[in-house]
């Protein structure tokens, strides 16, 4: 199993959610996060004063999937989250050792 974490622009969440559902992802965790990458945030003007916003609002999507879904999931996220502009986000893939469904005691892919 793999855990896929995608950090995307907030307005792309619905598109990514729909794309993931199309490739067979049945559940996900979504968290509102803030961060910055290479650009170091963005410059904004408020009441005539320019200032730098260090942390840009983003959304983090986390899904745990069978190994066979990794490529379709990555393609779905990239296709649906891409705007072609700076700050589109990142995707990370981690190995998952074990998963347990607390209610039933199911383990491994059955728990996902």
Determine the longest span between alpha carbons in the chain, in angstroms.
Answer: 58
Q: What separation in angstroms does the CA of 80 have from each of 21, 48, 76?
A: 12, 36, 6
Rg of the chain over CA atoms, in angstroms? 17
**In the prediction, which pLDDT does 19 show?**
98
DSSP string, 14-68: HHHHHHHHHTT----EEEEEEE--TT-SEEEEETTEEEEESSEEEEEEEEEE-GG
Convert the pLDDT of each residue in 42-89 to its tens digit.
Answer: 666 667 776 667 788 999 999 999 999 999 999 999 999 999 998 899
Q: pTM of the entire structure?
A: 0.86
Convert the pLDDT of each residue in 46-59 to its tens digit.
Answer: 677 766 677 889 99
| Least confident stretch, 27-36, 52-61, 79-88, 90-99 | 52-61
Give the whole-number percent of the chain exceeding pLDDT 90. 76
């Amino acid at each position: 199993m793999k855990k896929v974490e995608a950090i995307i622009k907030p307005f792309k969440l619905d598109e990514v959610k729909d794309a993931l559902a199309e490739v067979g992802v049945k559940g996900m965790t979504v968290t509102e996060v803030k961060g910055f990458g290479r650009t170091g945030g963005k410059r904004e003007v408020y009441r005539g004063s320019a200032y730098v916003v260090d942390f840009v609002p983003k959304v983090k999507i986390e899904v745990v999937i069978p190994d066979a879904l990794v490529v379709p999931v990555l393609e779905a996220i990239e296709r649906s989250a891409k705007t072609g502009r700076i700050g589109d986000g990142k995707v990370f893939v981690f190995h998952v050792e074990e998963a347990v469904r607390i209610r039933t005691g199911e383990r491994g892919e059955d728990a996902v």
